Amino acid sequence: MARAVTTRRKSLNTILAWAVGLLIFFPILWTILTSFKTEAQAIASPPIFLNFNWTLENYAIVQERSDYMRFLWNSVIIAGGSTILGVIIAVPAAWAMAFVPSKRTKDILLWMLSTKMLPAVGVLYPIYLLFIRLGLLDTRGGLVVVLMLINLPIIVWMLYTYFREIPGEILEAARMDGATLKEEILYVLTPMAVPGIASTVLLNFILAWNEAFWTLNLTAVDAAPLTAFIASYSSPEGLFFAKLSAASTMAIAPILILGWFSQKQLVRGLTFGAVK
Amino acid sequence: MATQHSRSVARLMMAPAVVLLLGWMLVPLTMTLYFSFKKYLPLRGGDLGWVGFDNYVRFVSSSSFWPAVQATLVIVGGVLIITVILGILLAMLLDQPMWGQGVVRILVIAPFFVMPTVSALVWKNMFMDPVNGLLAHLWRFFGAEPISWLSEASMTSIIMIVSWQWLPFATLILLTAIQSLDSEQLEAAEMDGAPVLKRFYHIILPHLSRAITIVILIQTIFLLSIFAEIFVTTGGAFGTRTLTYLIFQRVLESQNVGLGSAGGVYAIILANIVAIFLMRIVGKNLDA
Amino acid sequence: MGRIQLKSVTKSFGDVQVIPPLDLTIEDGEFTVFVGPSGCGKSTLLRLIAGLEDITSGSIDIDGADATDVPPAKRGLAMVFQSYALYPHMTVRKNIAFPLRMAKLDQAEIDKRVEGAASVLNLTDYLDRRPGQLSGGQRQRVAIGRAIVREPAAFLFDEPLSNLDAALRVGMRLEISELHERLATTMIYVTHDQVEAMTMADKIVVLQAGVIEQVGSPLELYRTPRNLFVAGFIGSPKMNFIEGPEAAKHGAQTIGIRPEHIAVSETEGEWSGVVSVSEHLGSDTFFHVHETGLAETITVRADGEVGFRHGDRIHLTPRADVIHRFDAQGLRIE
């Protein structure tokens, strides 16, 4: 917009937006602050904001009670594994849909998305049963496969929308230049789609990280990721605010940090490639 | 437009994704259908034979069925309304020139990164606890009697928590859409003498319609199956038992797989009705 | 070598036949231009030759060998796309080297050829830049560079100049013509711009709705258009068409007379009319004349110094020896 905005107006906007932004962020901020308080300070009335004795003891206690690193490692493996596997399967499919569209492409894409609407709970028991039969219950491999499958439609969809932005002529040029299909995808399409693929990977990593139906129902001990770690605080430990906060901070910190550093790709990914 | 050769290659490239999803859809679906016609109690005798449509009749005639459908719709509808309206307002605010826009944007997006179990726990205990929760402090500060949120205003509480999680997503999509609005259009309307509200109604809102559709679609997909928020907070009590949660209880808590499976089939049918409706809209948008 | 022969080639998309049976031979070393209005099938025809689309029936021979089922990469053809289709993530050097890398040439040979192409196309200083940092004309040259390093049997150009501004377009037109003189390789060039077709081609193929209307040298098409469509398409400003009694005088349904073949006079002439708009180009002046009783508008091209203005009544005289006559089917009467 080529219009000068008065400083007054800009200041007003800034104050309002920051106020709203901080209000929305407040629960997270409050959790992080509380994690450094003692239990007494955490429930003090009136609430204490900053002038308390900062302490790390809650983190120590949480770590002692449950081995954080093991849950963290499970989360990384499950979210990372399902995302990578999903992308490997989705890239060829999205290539086909974006560059060799047929009359049925749209139907297939919509059908894929509709599998995402299948209520997980409707198929919980069969999956549970299959997992027992196949010995996948409480294994990371099993969860990698399940989370890959539930996110696959979104990965395909996102890659498809990103690929569609790449002009087909460039791929045809590669074909004329003698590239085989593998070379075309490897040397031309993938490098050009790196920003889109990065956004897709990030978003799906986060979705898988936060997934809390299958991860809660299909794990017990060995493969339990951070969602299970935190769910164990639902009661009565939840009444110990400081420890609850420490555990919560530990569960969300990796994603918050990741989100902070990859802001740009993430913002793009968060729109699911649906809006430019 | 392409050659025969590339068409057959394309089919080959789509095959793994299609086959996997087809399997993921059909295998459990068939099993659910199978169980739904059986009396099947894994801990009390296992497979007790075929019962026809018994489970279906029992599931619907159970006193919890309609309240569950209602709870599901209220939560989905409530969250959609709140996130779309606040999302539009927030997006328009964030679109204004200001200092530190990037930081504000991050602050607004942050709740999306918080895993549902964490946000449910934090809200339940640290904010909504009737004694020590921050909201209770706030209420007392204004001289009001603190509310025990999750029992007295259970639906409102859950809608609040879920809206907080999804508002960032709605805001971000709508913000992206607003930023793509051609400012010349707005200036032309201004020249034509359209007042602010009219400009919003006739230009901004129609421009956002596609983005709003996408917000509604994607959120509905996720909201229909919210689980952790209820699991952690009320455990389905106080009228917050959604269809998802009801089925979960039938299958895992009362270990009645047949009945739960029949419920699952209903849930699938319900989801498909919503899906068909939404897919039509998206299908149209896909062409654009 | 690059002789390309299309034998009763057809193309259908679903039930729609966009190219009815078509025969065409392009001789080795010839600069052939496919020209026609948008949607006439000229780009489709080029893509069929390239192998980017399958032909529905018929066959395509390249240098006497059947290439109908040969994939694009193996046809020995190089293509320059309308959007240039440069690889945005590669430097100019890598862009030009890409086809050679795909052909698994050794690095020394690749470097030699890339340097060679770059010096021919004045790109030597830009080899390490990316396409995004280049001007439209430079991008165009990179696309050409990528085509020439392969030493193809023929070059295919798909409206390569349509994204350039008018001044650059004239310059690139010359460069491509010079390139053709130097390489003497077959070139097939698609455009909707009849000026490009007239200035560059050895042979023009005029297409409409997938059908070849006429094949010939630029001057053949200008002098003896086979039908009304070609007559109207070739030449600028457009040929005037007159029907009715005036045409009947020449024993035709329609007669055509080019604007440059009509003499204007203030005082006397065969026809008369009122000047509606006069366009002064300096070298020439175009008059759009109304109220002639012959056609809605008659366009006349006169010397730049002729100074009639809006509303002037003027007299027109066609040159009798260049009046084109067409029958009721729109075909030329010799």
- pLDDT value of residue A270: 65
- pLDDT value of residue C267: 87
| pLDDT tens per residue, range B126-153 | 888 777 777 877 777 787 777 777 777 7
| HEC secondary structure over C244-283 | CHHHHHCCCCEEEECHHHEEEECCCCCEEEEEEEEEECCC
- pLDDT value of residue C294: 85
- pLDDT value of residue A210: 85
Work out the average pLDDT over A230-258.
Answer: 79
For residue A220, pLDDT beyond 80: no
Contact A172 C77 (CB under 8 A): no
**Please, are residues C24 and C7 in contact by the beta-carbon 8 Å criterion?**
no
Chain A: partners with 3+ C-beta pairs within 8 Å? B, C
Contact A176 C79 (CB under 8 A): yes
Contacts of C148 in chain A (CB under 8 A): none
CATH superfamily of B69-237: MetI-like (1.10.3720.10)
* DSSP assignment letter at A120: G
The span from the CA of B173 to the CA of A135, in Å, is: 41
The span from the CA of C168 to the CA of C180, in Å, is: 18
For residue A228, pLDDT beyond 90: no
Domains belonging to chain C, first-starting first, are 4-225 (3.40.50.300), 237-333 (2.40.50.140)
For residue A222, pLDDT beyond 70: yes
Quick one: B43 exposed, middle or buried, by C-beta within 10 A (0-12, 13-18, 19+)? exposed
Fold type of domain A66-232: MetI-like fold (1.10.3720)
Q: So where are chain B's domains? A: 36-64+241-288, 69-237
A106 CA: distance to closest CA in chain C (Å)? 17
Contact C51 B4 (CB under 8 A): no
Instruction: Please list the alpha-helical segments (H only) found in C121-266.
Output: 136-148, 166-183, 194-200, 218-223, 228-233, 245-249
- pLDDT value of residue C276: 92
Contact B5 C71 (CB under 8 A): yes
For residue A237, pLDDT beyond 70: no
Contacts of B112 in chain A (CB under 8 A): 206, 270
The pTM (predicted TM-score) of the whole model is 0.81
Instruction: Name the stretches of chain B with pLDDT < 50.
Output: 1, 288
- The model's confidence at residue A4, banded by pLDDT at 50, 70 and 90, is low
The two structure tokens encoding residue A72: 């963290």
Contact B2 C52 (CB under 8 A): yes
**Please, are residues A79 and B236 in contact by the beta-carbon 8 Å criterion?**
no
Residues of CATH 1.10.3720.10 domain(s) within chain A? 66-232
Of B109, B169, B282, the CB nearest to A110: B282
| pLDDT tens per residue, range A20-49 | 999 999 889 888 888 888 777 777 767 777
| pLDDT tens per residue, range A126-166 | 888 888 888 888 888 888 999 999 889 989 988 888 888 88
B10 CA: distance to closest CA in chain C (Å)? 15
* DSSP assignment letter at C152: -
Q: How many residues are there in chain B?
A: 288
| pLDDT tens per residue, range A252-271 | 888 888 877 777 777 766 66
**What Rg value do the Cα atoms of chain A yield, rounded?**
23
A to C CB pairs, distance under 8 Å: 62
**Phi and psi, residue A100, nearest 5°:** -125, 60
| pLDDT tens per residue, range B65-110 | 888 888 888 999 999 999 999 999 998 888 888 888 888 888 888 8
A206 CA: distance to closest CA in chain B (Å)? 7
Averaged confidence pLDDT in chain B: 81
ipTM: 0.81
Instruction: Name the stretches of chain C with pLDDT < 70.
Output: 1
- pLDDT value of residue A57: 80
Task: Determine which of C44, C53, C75, C158 to mutate to test the interface with B (most B C-beta atoms within 10 Å).
Answer: C53
* DSSP assignment letter at C227: B
- pLDDT value of residue A1: 44
Contact C54 B4 (CB under 8 A): yes
Which residues make Cβ contacts (< 8 Å) with residue C121, sequence separation at least 6? C141, C142, C144, C145, C148
